[in-house]
Structure 1
Amino acid sequence: MSKLGKFFKGTRSSRARAAPSAQEALARLRETEEMLAKKQEYLENRIQRELALAKKHGSQNKRVY
């Protein structure tokens, strides 16, 4: 093993290697799902605003963008 490998071998914590329990994994998945749902809603709203703006100024005022 190289010197760098030996140096970095002990830097991982035991928690990083241990698998989370089923309850912890489900909680993390729920949090991730909520975050992704909020992000999706925000992006859909932003798309709608941009489309409305493009339709409003698309053929008349091209400097709005």
Structure 2
Amino acid sequence: MRTISNDVAVRLYHLDDEGGVATTLLYGSLAEALAAAAAQPEDMQPGLYLQTSNDVVAYLDLIEG
């Protein structure tokens, strides 16, 4: 993901690995999305993604660096 600030607008969504259904959990700032993602159950976190206007990154890839 490109370098961005905590205030950039993002979409946090969960991608279901069985049916490929994307469920939006939050539209908000990166800081809000990271907090919301961290609050999700651990078994759900591998399916979480953050989307900006020009990029998508898996939540776990972002926090694990």
TM-score (norm 1): 0.24
The answer to which structure has the higher helix fraction is 1
TM-score (norm 2): 0.24
